[in-house]
Amino acid sequence: MTITEILQRDHARLENQAKHLRDANRSDPRRDFTTFSEAMSRHMSLEEHAILAFLTTENSCNYVDMPELVRQHDALRLQMARIEEDLAASAEPPTQGLILQLLAEMDAHFLFEAQSLYGLFDAELTEDQQQRLRGWLQVLGETLPDQT
């Protein structure tokens, strides 16, 4: 499995979880958001601590869009924190507007990655480098603490 396929599979998993958040009539919105938030945080941490670190250190790749990717991750984390604050301050589930804004940001971010990052794997990384990066992803995926 290529690095691009690994990311696409994880994005599809997150998009599937997002479907539950888009449904305003879901049975347990707090649990649905917590599940999504933990998975999204873990995904971003893996990208930052494995993929971006690998591109920088192992490949000496000058990924010019790295600051924008990290900025988008920070914006997603900020929006998730706003929703968590809303959940903590209210007995009601978070407003659907906050959820929809988060998911729109996620969709734009996934598109950005598909356009700016995926091609880099094929163009810049040898099969040996992709194999090493898959190893990094596996190790970090097993050892990175859940992001709660």
Enter the pTM of the model.
0.85
Give the pLDDT confidence of 71-116 residue by residue, as tens digits: 999 999 999 999 988 888 876 766 788 899 999 999 999 999 998 8
Q: What is the dihedral of CA 28, 30, 32, 35, to 10 degrees?
A: -140
Give the pLDDT confidence of 5-36 residue by residue, as tens digits: 888 888 999 999 998 888 766 777 788 888 99
Task: Please give the Cα distance from 2 to 21 (Å, whole number).
Answer: 29
Place of tokens 């700016």: 116
Task: Please give the Cα distance from 69 to 7 (Å, whole number).
Answer: 14
Query: Helix/strand/coil (H, E, C) string of 78-106?
Result: HHHHHHHHHHHHCCCCCCHHHHHHHHHHH
